[in-house]
Amino acid sequence: MSLLDWFADRRKTTPAPRPNPEPEDGDGLWSKCPECGEVVYRKDLLANSSVCASCGYHHRVDSDERLRLLLDPGSFEPIDTDLSPIDPLAFKDRRAYADRIKDSQSSTGLRDAVVCGIGQLEGRSLAVGVMDFRFMGGSMGSVVGEKLTRLIEAATDRGLPVLVVCASGGARMQEGMLSLMQMAKISGALERHRSRQLLYLPLLTHPTTGGVTASFAMLGDLILAEPKALIGFAGRRVIEQTLREKLPDDFQTAEYLQDHGFVDLIVPRTRLRETLSSLLQLHQQGKPVTA
Q: What kind of architecture, by CATH, is found in domain 61-284?
A: Alpha-Beta Complex (3.90)
Of the candidates 261, 169, 270, the residue with the CA atom closest to the CA atom of residue 222? 261
In whole angstroms, how far apart are CA 249 and each of 2, 135, 230, 252? 37, 29, 12, 9
Give pTM, 2 decimals: 0.88
CB-based contacts of 48, cutoff 8 Å, min separation 6: 270
pLDDT at residue 259 in the model: 98
Task: Provide the residue ranges of all domains of the chain, joining segments of one domain with +.
Answer: 61-284
In this structure, are strands 39-41 and 265-266 parallel, antiparallel, or unpaired? unpaired
pLDDT (tens digit, 0 to 9) for every residue of the chain, 291 residues total? 554 454 455 555 444 444 444 444 445 799 999 999 999 999 999 999 999 999 999 999 999 999 999 999 999 999 999 999 999 999 999 999 999 999 999 999 999 999 999 999 999 999 999 999 999 999 999 999 999 999 999 999 999 999 999 999 999 999 999 999 999 999 999 999 999 999 999 999 999 999 999 999 999 999 999 999 999 999 999 999 999 999 999 999 999 999 999 999 999 999 999 999 999 999 988 766 655
What is the distance between the alpha carbons of residues 176 and 140, in angstroms, rounded to a whole number?
Answer: 11
The count of other CB atoms within 10 Å of the CB of residue 257 is 23
**CA–CA separation, 26 and 201 (whole Å):** 36
77: which strand partners?
118
Which of 139, 121, 143 has the alpha carbon at shortest distance from 131?
Answer: 139
Closest CA to 72 of 119, 127, 130: 119
Residue 291: per-residue pLDDT: 55
How buried is 277 (Cβ within 10 angstroms: 0-12 exposed, 13-18 middle, 19+ buried)? middle
Q: How far is Cα 59 from Cα 35, in angstroms, rounded to an integer?
A: 10
